[in-house]
Chains A and B, each alone.
Chain A
Amino acid sequence: MKQHLPATLLALSLASILSACVTINIYFPAAAAEKAADRLIDEVWQVKERNGMSEPAATESETK
């Protein structure tokens, strides 16, 4: 019995390693990708800067 324990553990951990690898290759994190895309698009199209805080700062320096 004692002899079989390491072999069983080895098989189990090999299985978990293998499933982890398969997970990496198949699973596409769609929700995370959407968030990343939104962040990048906001920066490229400068959505945040137009509605955000940088505009009041700009007008302030203009009035000087």
Chain B
Amino acid sequence: MNRLFLSAIFALSFFFMQPAAMAADIEINTPAISAIKNSMQARHNQLAPHYTSGAVGLTRDGLIAVRDAKAVPLKDRQSVNTLVAAENKDRNALYKEIAIANQNPQWESDIRNTFAQRWVEKAKAGWWYQTASGWVQK
């Protein structure tokens, strides 16, 4: 009886400890995340020329912003604003969904900060990004 009780407790404690070990990996392969990723991928071809021209830059909070509207022909300015708004909506949803997919909604700001750094790290030379002291060209 005593042995049964003992092994039951051990089994129970291992069951509870497992999620802690699994938490070392970050899950990004859920249908919700894939849908956002595909939407951003499809938009990137339209945004890329604006990153290159400097019209659009990467912000410190993992989003993008119009930093020099004059770099865009007048007739295209509205479409750039629409692109930026749609991209930021996807990015906000992405950070939130990754936190939820990993059972830790409170990680959203950590995930946002991680992405903010990695977007800049992976940006091409000539693209603009925001620092504490302002816009910088990579």
Binding site for B on A (CB under 8 A): 2, 5-6, 9-10, 13, 16-17, 20-21, 23-25, 27-30, 32-47
Contacts and interface: CB of A to CB of B under 8 A. Distances in A.
Interface residues of B, number: 36
Nearest to A23: B20
Nearest to A15: B13
B77 interface: no
Tell me what chain A mostly uses at the interface: helix, strand, loop, or mixed.
Answer: helix
Interface of B: 2, 5-6, 9-10, 12-13, 16-17, 19-20, 23-28, 33, 37, 40-41, 44, 94, 98, 103-104, 106-107, 110-111, 114-115, 117-119, 122
A58 B25 CA distance: 35
Given A36-B28, A41-B119, A24 B114 contact: no
A20 B45 CA distance: 44
B13 A16 contact: yes
Contact of B28 (A20, A40, A47): A40
